Structure 1
Amino acid sequence: MATNGKLRYTTPGMEQADAERVVALLQERLDATTDLHLTLKHVHWNVVGPHFISVHEMIDPQVDEVRGFSDDLAERIATLGGSPLGTPGGLVERRKWTEYSIGRATTQEHLGALDLVYQGVITSYREAIKELDDLDLVTQDMLIGQTDKLELFHWFVRAHLEDKGGNLSTTGATSEGAASAAAQQDATEAASA
């Protein structure tokens, strides 16, 4: 967007006000995916434990895919006449969530925390998709495709947190720390059983 929040132009057939709202929604997704791919890379570097290699290798393709989402979102913002904002300081200033809090930790601790991270990102994507129903079906289609992949990656994470009865170790956790602790406790109890 221009510094005053108004677009200089937009794509043919779209009202200026609608384009401005779509750009705002896209910027929120751009911030979320930029933060997510950096968080996933952080997990990739800091995960330890018996299942290290499987989680380490599972995370890298997610990093690459989500980084690609960021590029697609930024290009869509530019297509609509906006200016994508991608500086680290700006992202930190705009984000509505807290910094990922887990450092060097076991696979289960990181996967428990990532369960909550993915829940937040996917929920915000679904809210944007719903709002785009009346604004821009082209952008909505892009977000639907990205949500499909995010939900798949979330399933990959949750498969490590699920018991054979379909119960998630992170059920009821409301913070990364609580989810991390619950996942680790569940893994410890399962190992000693």
Structure 2
Amino acid sequence: MPEFTIPGMTKKDSVKVAQILQKQLSTYNDLHLTLKHVHWNVVGPNFIGVHEMIDPQVVLVRGFADETAERIAALGESPQGTPGAIIKDRTWNDYSLGRDTVLAHLGALDVVYRGVIEDTRKAISDTDKPDPVTQDMLIGHAAELEKFQWFVRAHLENAGGQLSDSGQRTEKGAAAKSR
């Protein structure tokens, strides 16, 4: 197979950026499945609002996965979108809640978004020098992810601006504190 990369990029930089993007691809694939899981398992007051709030997030995150996979291919590498790739690339635990209340799921989802956004911001920083085009794509993703987290946090915030899941680093801890 002929070697291909983006004109003006070295093969070394292409491989580096593709590796960063592969982690993002696995993250986005995991996130859209997690969001759909929440969509199916959320119960209680405000169910329908949250149920319907989640689907547009699923659609956009699936789009991020597709855009990321296509960028990997444009860099001359092979995107891996299999369940095995998600597990291999995972540095996080599987989503831990099943059927639960709106606030429990939103508290847990806040923790998920925090991790995804932190990883995305690191990828933005890591692609600054080798590929500003990829960096720009990731910046756009981060803006939407941060907006989604704001939607989630709006349900967890009291009139004084405090989040019900404040200080929690695990999904189960955030869920328990938010119930």
- Write the distance in 1 (CA, Å) between the matches of 2:134 and 2:120: 12
- Deviation, 1:8, is 2.9
Cα distance in 1 for partners of 2:91, 2:53 equals 27
Residue 174 of structure 1: how far off its partner (Å): 1.4
1:124-157 per-residue CA deviation (whole Å, 9 max, x = no partner) reads: 0001111111110000000000100000000000
Listed as ranges, the matches of 1:119-158 within 5 Å are: 119-158=114-153
1:187 paired residue number: none
> Aligned equivalents of 1:165 and 1:41: distance in 2?
31
Counterpart of 1:20 in 2: which secondary structure? helix
Structure number, greater radius of gyration: 1
Question: Displacement, 1:71?
Answer: 0.2
Secondary structure at the aligned position of 2:156 is classed as coil
How many corresponding residue pairs?
179
TM-score by length of 1: 0.91
Provide the rounded CA distance (Å) in 2 between the counterparts of 1:25 and 1:157: 27
Q: Render the CA deviation track for 1:32-76: whole Å, top value 9, x for unaligned.
A: 000000000000000000110000000000000000000000000
Which amino acid is the alignment partner of residue 81 of structure 1? Answer: G
Tell me the percent identity. Answer: 58
Map of 2:17 onto structure 1: 22
1: CA distance, partners of 2:30 / 2:170 = 17
1:19-98 alignment, distance < 5 Å: 19-98=14-93
- For 2:101, the aligned partner's letter is T
Is the aligned partner of 1:11 residue 2:6?
yes
Give the partner amino acid of 1:27: Q
Distance (whole Å) between structure 1 residues aligned to residue 36 and residue 68 of structure 2:
20
1:9, distance to aligned residue in structure 2 (A)? 1.8
**Mean Cα deviation higher: 37-46 or 124-133:** 124-133
Q: Does 1:160 align with 2:155?
A: yes
The alignment yields a C-alpha RMSD, in angstroms, of: 1.2
One-letter code aligned to 1:78: A
> Any gaps of 5 or more consecutive residues in structure 2?
none
Alignment partner, residue 111 of structure 1:
106
Find runs of 4+ consecutive structure 1 residues off by over 2 angstroms.
none
CA distance in 1, matches of 2:104, 2:21: 31
